[in-house]
Amino acid sequence: MKKDLGPATAMYPSLTTIVGAVVNGRPNFLAVAHVGIMNHGQPQYISVGINKSHYSGPGIHEHREFSVNIPSEALMAETDYVGIVSGKKTDKSTLFELFTGELQHAPLIAQCSVSMECRLYQVVDFPSHEVFIGEIVKTWADESILTEKGHIDPAKVRPLLFDMGTLSYYGLGPVLGGCWNVGKKLKKG
């Protein structure tokens, strides 16, 4: 039996990220799980959906730059914290060790093994959220999480997955099969 859940969002789990922006002259960070990959190839765009009531949005509008950082399981408490407290009341600028890449207003988190610097490309306006679409200008990765071929190894990143229904963080499970590969056995001819 299937149950009708109405128009519920069922797009979970999703990747939990920490988005960084410079707001009122200081780096600010918030947890963002509403993330998407836009386009594929060059340029490469990604989207982050941010509630209009949050402190971060105006900083992204002002500087047209932001960062997207991938926290590991080890950063679960810090990630949750920047998703609970707002820069409106709490200075979150000293929580992480920061580094700067090419963009001056895309604060990057040293403790995250993967960080992307983004230049704002487009803003899509929804009733509650703005979706900021950014062009990835540069991606930084710790050498320790790369495969021998230089690809990011999710098993080493240990990303946090977010589920809205149960309000829980999940970890990554084992590799189940190869993409563009395991389906081949169902091909006819």
Ligand X SMILES: Cc1cc2nc3c(=O)[nH]c(=O)nc-3n(C[C@H](O)[C@H](O)[C@H](O)COP(=O)(O)O)c2cc1C
Binding site for ligand X (CB under 6 A): 16, 28, 30-34, 49-51, 54-56, 80, 83-88, 162
Report residue 50: phi and psi, to 5°: -125, 130
Nearer to ligand X, 88 or 151 (CB): 88
| Shortest distance in whole angstroms from residue 148 CB to ligand X | 32
Residue whose Cβ sits closest to ligand X: 83
Please say whether the beta carbons of 142 and 156 come within 8 A: no
| Shortest distance in whole angstroms from residue 163 CB to ligand X | 9
Nearer to ligand X, 87 or 134 (CB): 87
Q: What is the C-alpha separation between 66 and 72, in angstroms, rounded?
A: 20
| Shortest distance in whole angstroms from residue 3 CB to ligand X | 26
Nearer to ligand X, 50 or 157 (CB): 50
Nearer to ligand X, 146 or 172 (CB): 172
Both ends of the chain: CA-CA distance in Å?
Answer: 35
Residue 19 region by backbone torsions, left for phi larger than 0, else alpha for psi between -120 and 50, else beta = beta
Q: What is the C-alpha separation between 185 and 53, in angstroms, rounded?
A: 49
Query: Beta 161-163 vs 14-15: how paired, if at all?
Result: antiparallel
Nearer to ligand X, 35 or 103 (CB): 35
| Shortest distance in whole angstroms from residue 52 CB to ligand X | 8
| Shortest distance in whole angstroms from residue 25 CB to ligand X | 14
Residue 158 region by backbone torsions, left for phi larger than 0, else alpha for psi between -120 and 50, else beta = left
